[in-house]
Structure 1
Amino acid sequence: MKLTMGEKLRILLKRKNVTIVELSRRIGTSNQNLANKFKRDNFSTKELEEIAEALGCEFEGYFVDKDGYKL
């Protein structure tokens, strides 16, 4: 079964020890807005690129962590 983007992001947040509240602060959006995006699994490519940058990753259609993890 394929993971949704929201599930992939949750895994990445856990590995990076970053909360959704902290991520929302880093990307300049409200916690409620980001929580809604997770609930709907509705992220634009631009948002995913911003999230990747905020987490010290690259987004290439998937996330590549500096430790080599691909999600």
Structure 2
Amino acid sequence: MKLTMGEKIRILLKRKNVTIIELSKRLGTTNQNMANKFKRDNFSMNELEAIAEALDCEFEGYFVDKDGDKI
């Protein structure tokens, strides 16, 4: 079973000991807006990069073809 982006971010938040409220503050957005993003699993590439920066890590987005090769 594949994890959604929201699930991956939640795992990272737990590892970094950061709450969604704290992440919202770091990103300069409201907790409600962030909760809605998680609910819909709707993150833009720019938001994912900002989240990575706020959590002191890197985001590397990529496509994987059906053979498992990264593109």
TM range (shorter): 0.7 to 0.9
Q: Gapped runs of 5+ residues in structure 2? A: 63-71
Percentage identity across aligned positions?
84
For residues 29 and 59 of structure 2, what CA distance do their matches in structure 1 show?
19
Give the match for residue 60 of structure 2: 60
**What letter matches 1:37 in structure 2?**
K
Q: Post-superposition, which runs of at least 4 consecutive aligned residues in structure 1 deviate over 6 A?
A: none
For residues 2 and 61 of structure 1, what CA distance do their matches in structure 2 show?
15
More strand per residue = 1
Using the TM superposition, give the Cα deviation of residue 61 of structure 1 relative to its aligned residue in structure 2, in angstroms. 1.2
RMSD: 1.0
Aligned pairs (5 A) from 1:1-71: 1-61=1-61
* Per-residue CA distance 1:2-57 (angstroms, 9 max, x = gap): 00000000000000000000000001100000000000000000000000000000
Q: Gapped runs of 5+ residues in structure 1? A: 63-71
- The count of aligned residue pairs is 62
Superposition TM-score, scaled by structure 1 size: 0.85
